[in-house]
Each structure stands twice: as C-alpha cells, then as structure tokens.
Chains A and B, each alone.
Chain A
Amino acid sequence: ELKVEQNPLFLSMQEGKNYTIYCNYSTTSDRLYWYRQDPGKSLESLFVLLSNGAVKQEGRLMASLDTKARLSTLHITAAVHDLSATYFCAVDALLTGGGNKLTFGTGTQLKVEL
C-alpha cells in the first residue's frame, strides 16, 4: 500500500524567511503533485512533477522530485503572509481497471507571521 508522509505537519515562520517542506512516499511512482488548500476551500493545483529531477517554480514556491529517493520538496523563498495555507503532496498510481488512485500526504499547515 502506498504511503505518503510529509514533514513538518505544522510550520510557523516569519515573513521573509525561507523554509522547505518534505514529502516521502513508499513505492515507485513517476507522478507527484503539490496542492494548496485554504480553510474551507477545495484544492488548488500548484505543481505536477512528472519525472526524476523535475524542478518547477512559481513565484516564491519551488518544487523538486527525486524518484530514486522517493522524495519531493517544496521550497518557500522569502515567505509572505498570503502563503498561509495547508499544503499537500500527493502521489498517484495507475489502476488496472482504468483511472488512477491519488494518495495524499498528511499535509503541512503553514502559518506565516506578519
């Protein structure tokens, strides 16, 4: 059974600081996703990482994937208050009957202090 772990679970940081969220998964997969979720809202897709060594950047967020280590990171540069949210990584597996099963990590609740 695929397991996806994130750390830390909670992250309180000051504006302007840098930090990294880690995502480890237990079985081979070539597709990893990062989502943002604001309280009471649905999931917002941030990044889709499709191959080993993939690196994607959007604004203050940068995501990378190492499929050999089964590790993805989400790096936050010079955090701002608007980045406060819960961040999930997710890994999917192809189903023999069609479709895919997406398994989410535990989530990281990020709070950026003004």
Chain B
Amino acid sequence: DTEVTQTPKHLVMGMTNKKSLKCEQHMGHRAMYWYKQKAKKPPELMFVYSYEKLSINESVPSRFSPECPNSSLLNLHLHALQPEDSALYLCASSQVHLFYGYTFGSGTRLTVV
C-alpha cells in the first residue's frame, strides 16, 4: 500500500459543529503532516507529528486540534470554525530517516457555513 487515504473527501459544517478529518497510511512512515491550502495559494504547514508526538504547531488556532493515536492514523478535530477556515486540507506522510520524499493524500475539501 503506497497511499495516504483521507476521509471525508468533502465536508460542509456549521460554525457551531464539531467534526473530524481522518488520514491513514500503511507505508510505515513515522512522520505525518497536516497542510491547509486556500484557493489559488500554496499549501501551508499546520502540524507535524514524528513518532506519534507533535513536533511542530505552526501557530494554528486552537479550534484545530490534531491527534495521532497510532503510527498509521492522524486526525484533525475541528470545532467552532469560521468561514475563512474553508479550504483544502491535505495530509502527508514521510519517513523520518532515510528520507525519500512525501506522500500526499487526496485532500478534504472543507466548507464552513
């Protein structure tokens, strides 16, 4: 299996809702990442997990809460989002050592109404 699987592919949520994005990989990668991409902009790093521990938080608002329950799974919990949080959320994974690049998932298109 050489893929990163993201679910759901599309999500519409209200500003008072709580939802979660899920990312899964079975390549044995021990680093996992969340990126946010607004329309016509480059992806921006949000969080990095290395060996299931949070390695970097790029000053992301607390309404985004990441979780890495095991080496194959990465979640992004969403609560009280704003319309400006609407974007494409991309998950990626990589090896930590003997680095050969990143594998990106297909993304979740999030719309906050």
Contact = CB atoms under 8 A, between A and B. Distances in A.
Given A33-B101, A43-B90, A95 B55 contact: yes
Nearest to A44: B104
Contacts of B48: 95, 97-101
Contact of B106 (A31, A41, A98, A103): A41
B100 A104 contact: no
Contact of A88 (B31, B42, B96, B109): B42
Nearest to B104: A43
Contact of A97 (B40, B41, B50, B88): B50
B45 A95 contact: no
A102 interface: yes
A101 B33 CA distance: 9
Contacts, number: 71
A109 to B, nearest CB: 8
Interface residues of B, number: 31
A88 B102 CA distance: 14
B101 A107 contact: no
Interface string A3-45: 0000000000000000000000000000101000000111101
Interface string B37-51: 000111111001111
Nearest to A105: B42
A65 interface: no
Given A43-B43, A107-B42, A101 B56 contact: yes
Given A42-B105, A43-B90, A48-B100, A99 B42 contact: no
A95 B50 CA distance: 10
In the complex, which range does the number of interface residues on chain A fall in?
20 to 34
B102 A99 contact: no
Nearest to B41: A107
B42 A102 contact: no
A43 B107 CA distance: 9
Contacts of A42: 88, 90, 104-107
Interface of A: 31, 33, 40-43, 45, 48, 88, 95, 97-107, 109
Interface of B: 30-31, 33, 40-45, 48-51, 53, 55-56, 88, 90, 92, 94, 96, 99-107, 109
